[in-house]
């Protein structure tokens, strides 16, 4: 045995044992294509958040003007982030300016004669949109967490996209509903209705929806049908909820019980107290769920009914607990992979991979005899390190990832072939066995190094710029090639050093 091999043996053993332990204790995550699950790409309609902000500002301004006796004809929103005040008295110009300067700091305004156009400052607009996306990610995460999905991925992509990946989910429709529902919950007083159609409803209002009311439809799936006229201002909203839980109504049907925060309870008490005998609509995302009649003053708790199934009631609780989304969602991409499709691929892929690796190993041993055994050992080490590293980096194994492994194995075998062919060449030129071996390794090294590094460089770019499957491919490839440099060069050389002595007359290659 040559000198100085001790540390090499130790290093090799340490790495192999380490990789085996990591692989044993941390399992490798399988991608959606193998394990099944949902992949969603959603777009946050950030304008919704801006519209909401604009409407709130208009409501605030109405109150301010009322308080300060400023007269105006109308306050209308023209577009998200823009509204006009019309029909103001020119004599009150200074007063109006004063109010706007003082209370609408996030807004720019231009006052001309009797009308003023007000627009949101660009930086604030940007901030609102940004917030809407961030909040949506947070809200979706909360909802998914309380639904209970193992290892969900919820991340922002670009300006207003969100990627949601939920492995192993077996009821896609329900989960999608859970994620995409805006869940804007409001309690509004019913002014008229229900009526079978709009015309009947509006008869007593001169065919027009009054300014302080809005027309809403009942949710056909729930306990409310037809058209309603309700007050525009909500008595209380989802923000006033302190606690929600699944419960039952007086007929033992699933329902959602709630309790209100003190402030909300005070308002609720007032509204219900003043309107005994009238209907109070419970509105979820602009659809009326139910419109029960107020029998008595209610203070801080109640139930939401609506012909729910147990699951629907459960989901509503989850959604209300996590809070409303600040804006609506659009689906851009929706993939649902069942667990059995992936299961098939995994089984077939594993079998094929095993057959392939075995065939290569047998060929190497037949062709290179003892040296082939050396290559096989190196290849096995390579695979062990690969799986250990995949587990360590918590990488996700996907179908293209398997392709990356195949390329890696191919290049590992190629590295061995390069070295062995070179050793044969040098030996044929009449060099001694040990000399041929070390020359074989040193001369083949540049080719192995350059080809591996070139591929690693390309894989790094693929990882950087690619999406899901391409990323998965890049990860396994990079790990595999780095392991390859170690096993095919370092370990394989070490095995020769350990097994071929200076006195050897023949080299089995």
Partner 1 sequence: MPLVLFKTPHINFMKYKYVALAVTGAIVLAGILNVTVGKGLKLGVDFGGGTLVRVMFKTPVAVGDVRLQLKNVNLGNTVIQEGEKKGREFQIRTMQVIKTADDQAEIEAHEKLGNQVIEALKGDDGKAELGRGLKDLNTIDTRELTALLSPSFAADAPQLVESILNLRNTKGIFADHAELQEAGLKPEVITFLKDKTFLGKLTILSRETVGPQAGADLRKKATLACIWALIGMLVYIAFRFKLEYGIAAIFTLTQDVLITMSLYSFSNREINLPIIAAMLTIVGYSINDTIVIFDRVRENKKILRKETLENIMNTSLNQCLGRTIITAGTVFLTLLALFLFGGEVINDFAFAMLIGSIEGVYSTVYLSCPVVLFWQKLFPSQKGFRK
Q: Which of residues 116-175 bind partner 1 (CB under 8 A)?
A: 170-172
The 3-state DSSP class for residue 154 equals: strand
Pair 484, 415: CB distance under 8 Å = yes
Q: Which of 134, 151, 263, 450 touches partner 1 by CB under 8 A?
A: 450
- Kindly state whether residue 344 participates in binding partner 1, applying the rule CB under 8 A: yes
7-39 per-residue burial string, b: 16 or more CB within 10 A, e: under 16: ebeeebeebbeebeebbeeeebbbbbbbbbbbb
Q: How far is the CB of 90 from partner 1 (least distance, A)?
A: 43
- Kindly state whether residue 248 participates in binding partner 1, applying the rule CB under 8 A: no
Q: How far is the CB of 185 from partner 1 (least distance, A)?
A: 24
- HSE value, Cβ hemisphere, 13 Å, CA-based, for 300: 9
Q: Which of 345, 374, 382, 484 touches partner 1 by CB under 8 A?
A: 345
Q: Which of 304, 324, 483, 509 touches partner 1 by CB under 8 A?
A: 509
From residue 370 to residue 409, the character string flagging contacts with partner 1 as x (rule: CB under 8 A) and all else as - is -----------------------------xx-xxx-xx-x
For tokens 């419109």, name the residue.
291
- Kindly state whether residue 349 participates in binding partner 1, applying the rule CB under 8 A: yes
- Kindly state whether residue 453 participates in binding partner 1, applying the rule CB under 8 A: yes
Q: How far is the CB of 331 from partner 1 (least distance, A)?
A: 6
Helix 468-484 and helix 339-392, axial crossing angle in degrees, nearest 10: 40
Q: Which of 293, 331, 442, 501 touches partner 1 by CB under 8 A?
A: 331
- Kindly state whether residue 104 participates in binding partner 1, applying the rule CB under 8 A: no
Look at residues 207, 206, 211 and name the one whose alpha carbon lies nearest to residue 198. 207
- Kindly state whether residue 477 participates in binding partner 1, applying the rule CB under 8 A: yes
Question: Please, what sign has the CA dihedral across residues 380, 383, 384, 385?
Answer: positive
- Kindly state whether residue 447 participates in binding partner 1, applying the rule CB under 8 A: yes
Q: How far is the CB of 315 from partner 1 (least distance, A)?
A: 11
- Kindly state whether residue 337 participates in binding partner 1, applying the rule CB under 8 A: yes
- Rounded to whole angstroms, the Cα distance separating 274 from 391 reads 64
Q: Which two tokens stand for residue 137?
A: 């990610």
- Kindly state whether residue 108 participates in binding partner 1, applying the rule CB under 8 A: no
Q: Which of residues 63-102 bind partner 1 (CB under 8 A)?
A: none
Q: Which of residues 12-51 bind partner 1 (CB under 8 A)?
A: 33, 41, 43
> What number of other Cβ atoms are within 10 A of residue 284's Cβ?
23
Q: Which stretch binds partner 1 (CB under 8 A): 110-118, 255-263, 300-308, 356-364?
A: 356-364
Provide the β-strand partners of residue 83. 77, 118
Helix 399-428 and helix 433-465, axial crossing angle in degrees, nearest 10: 160
How many residues of this chain bind partner 1 (CB under 8 A)?
Answer: 81
- Kindly state whether residue 336 participates in binding partner 1, applying the rule CB under 8 A: yes
**Cβ partners under 8 Å of residue 474, min gap 6:** 404, 459, 460, 462, 463, 466
Q: Which of 13, 14, 341, 504 touches partner 1 by CB under 8 A?
A: 341
Does an H or E element contain 337, and which?
strand 329-337
Q: Which of 71, 351, 394, 442 touches partner 1 by CB under 8 A?
A: 351
Q: Which of 5, 9, 457, 504 touches partner 1 by CB under 8 A?
A: 457
| C-beta closer to partner 1: residue 132 or 409 | 409
Q: Which of 66, 97, 245, 347 touches partner 1 by CB under 8 A?
A: 347
Q: How far is the CB of 11 from partner 1 (least distance, A)?
A: 27
Backbone angles phi, psi at 2, to 5 degrees: -70, 160
Q: Which stretch binds partner 1 (CB under 8 A): 92-100, 185-193, 292-300, 460-468?
A: 460-468
C-alpha dist (Å) from residue 291 to 117, 190, 219: 38, 8, 11
Pair 314, 20: CB distance under 8 Å = no
Q: What 8-state DSSP symbol labels residue 27?
A: P
């Amino acid at each position: 045995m040559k000198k100085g091999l001790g540390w090499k043996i130790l290093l090799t053993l340490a790495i192999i044992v380490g990789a085996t332990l990591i692989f044993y204790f941390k399992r490798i995550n399988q991608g959606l294509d193998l394990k099944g699950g949902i992949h969603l790409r959603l777009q946050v309609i950030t304008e919704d958040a801006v519209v909401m902000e604009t409407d709130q500002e208009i409501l605030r301004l109405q109150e301010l003007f009322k308080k300060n006796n400023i007269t105006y004809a109308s306050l209308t929103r023209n577009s998200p982030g823009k509204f006009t005040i019309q029909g103001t008295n020119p004599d009150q110009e200074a007063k109006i300016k004063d109010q706007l300067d003082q209370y609408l700091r996030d807004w720019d305004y231009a006052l001309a004669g009797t009308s003023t156009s007000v627009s949101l400052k660009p930086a604030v607009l940007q901030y609102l949109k940004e917030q809407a996306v961030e909040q949506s990610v947070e809200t979706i995460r909360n909802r998914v967490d309380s639904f209970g999905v193992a290892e969900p991925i919820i991340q922002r992509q670009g300006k207003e996209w969100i990627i949601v990946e939920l492995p192993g989910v077996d009821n896609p429709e329900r989960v999608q509903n859970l994620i995409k529902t805006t869940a804007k919950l409001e309690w509004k007083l019913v002014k008229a209705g229900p009526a079978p159609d709009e015309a009947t409803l509006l008869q007593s209002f001169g065919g027009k929806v009054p300014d302080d009311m809005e027309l809403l439809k009942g949710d056909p799936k729930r306990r409310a049908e037809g058209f309603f006229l309700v007050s525009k201002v909500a008595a209380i909203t989802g923000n006033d909820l302190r606690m929600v839980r699944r419960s039952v109504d007086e007929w033992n049907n699933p329902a959602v019980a709630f309790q209100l925060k003190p402030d909300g309870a005070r308002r609720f008490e007032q509204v219900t107290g003043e309107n005994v005998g009238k209907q109070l609509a419970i509105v979820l995302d602009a659809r009326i769920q139910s419109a029960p009649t107020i029998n008595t003053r209610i203070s801080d708790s109640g139930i939401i009914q609506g012909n729910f199934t147990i699951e629907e009631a459960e989901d509503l609780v989850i959604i209300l607990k996590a809070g409303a989304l600040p804006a609506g969602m659009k689906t851009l991409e929706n993939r649902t992979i069942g667990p059995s499709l992936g299961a098939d691929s995994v089984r077939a892929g594993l079998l094929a991979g095993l057959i392939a690796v075995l065939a290569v190993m047998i060929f190497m041993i037949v062709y290179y005899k003892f040296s082939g055994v050396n290559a096989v050992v190196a290849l096995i080490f390579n695979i062990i390190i690969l799986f250990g590293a995949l587990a360590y980096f918590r990488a996700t194994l996907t179908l293209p990832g398997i392709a990356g492994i195949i390329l890696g194995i191919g290049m590992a075998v190629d590295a061995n072939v390069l070295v062995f062919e070179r050793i044969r060449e040098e030996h044929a030129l009449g060099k001694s066995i040990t000399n041929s071996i070390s020359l074989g390794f040193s001369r083949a090294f540049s080719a192995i190094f350059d080809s591996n590094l070139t591929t690693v460089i390309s894989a790094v770019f693929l990882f950087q710029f690619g999406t899901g499957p391409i990323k998965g491919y890049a990860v396994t490839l990079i790990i595999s090639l780095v392991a390859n440099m170690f096993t095919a060069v370092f370990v394989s050389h070490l095995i020769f050093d350990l097994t071929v002595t200076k006195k050897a007359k023949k080299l089995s290659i």
